[in-house]
Structure 1
Amino acid sequence: MTVDPHRPDLSPPVRIAQTDGRQAVLAFSGHLDAGALRLLEELLLDHRLRQPGTWILEMSDLEHIDLACAYALLRTVTRAPEPAAVTVRGARPAVHRTLRHAGLDTVAAFEG
C-alpha cells in the first residue's frame, strides 16, 4: 500500500510505533514499494530514531517490500555513527527473501 495524499484514510505502510530512548519499534504493513520510498526515507531520519540502541522492525503485517525500500533500511542501519542493534520480527517468506537479497541479514537478526 502506498500513501495517497488524496485518500488520507489509508494508513502509511511504515510508522514509528514506539520509542523510549533505548528502543524503537517501527511497524510495517501492506505494501512498501517505490511509491512509499520517500516516506520511508523521511521516517528513517526522524530525530526519535537517533538515540535508541535497539530497533525492532515489526513486519508481520507487511505483505511486500521492494528492493529499493530494503536498501534504504540497510543504508540507514549501516551509515549510523553508532549502528543500532536491529531485529526483524514476523517477516513473511517473500519479505524475508527481499531483505536478505538487499543484505539486511548481515546486520539484523530475524525472529519468527
Structure 2
Amino acid sequence: MTVDPHHPSRSAPVTIAEADERHAVLAFAGDLDAPALGVLEELLLDPRLRRPGAWTLDMGDLTHIDLACAYALLRAVTRAPEPAALTVRGARPAVHRTLRHAGLDTVATFVA
C-alpha cells in the first residue's frame, strides 16, 4: 500500500496532527516497520516540520516500531543546526525500549 504523507488515510502509521511556527505534533498508530520506513522518511522532510522548535511524538496508539524507523526519527530531530526539543508521549514499554536503543533518550523527554 502506498500512503501519501501529505494526505494520509486513516491507515497511515504516522501523520502530522498539527504544525505551526513553534510546535509540531506527529501522531503514530499501529506498526511502524520496514514497509512504512519510506512513508516516515518522506513525512519527516515535510516543510511544516522545519520551522517548529519543538516536536511532540504522540505514540499512544503505536504498537510496534522497528529500529530503522527509530533511527530515522533520531536523524530527523538532530539534523538541524539547532535540533528541535523533542517530547515522546504515551510510548508503550516495547516502543520506548526500541527508541532508547536508537538513542532517542539522549535527545527526548519521555512522558506518559
| Post-superposition offset of 1:5 | 3.4
Letter in 1 for 2:2: P
Letter in 2 for 1:103: G
Match of 1:53 in 2: 53
Question: Which segments of 5 or more consecutive residues in structure 1 lack a partner in the other structure?
Answer: none
Letter in 2 for 1:46: D
- TM-score normalised to structure 2 length: 0.92
| Post-superposition offset of 1:9 | 6.3
Q: How many angstroms apart in 1 are the aligned matches of 2:19 and 2:81?
A: 19
Deviation string, structure 1 residues 22-41 (Cα, Å, up to 9, x no partner): 00000000000000000000
For these two proteins, the number of residue pairs brought into alignment is 108
Match of 2:2 in 1: 5
Letter in 2 for 1:80: A
Q: How many angstroms apart in 2 are the aligned matches of 1:9 and 1:68?
A: 23
| Post-superposition offset of 1:10 | 5.4
Question: Which segments of 5 or more consecutive residues in structure 2 lack a partner in the other structure?
Answer: none
SS in 1 for 2:91: coil
Q: How many angstroms apart in 1 are the aligned matches of 2:9 and 2:53?
A: 33
Structure 1 outlier segments of 4+, above 6 Å: none
Match of 1:25 in 2: 25
Match of 2:64 in 1: 64
Match of 1:91 in 2: 91
Deviation string, structure 1 residues 17-73 (Cα, Å, up to 9, x no partner): 001210000000000000000000000000000000000000000000000000000
Quickly say closer, same or farther: Cα 1:20–1:95, change in 2 above 3 A: same
Contact 2:20 2:51 in 1 (8 A): no
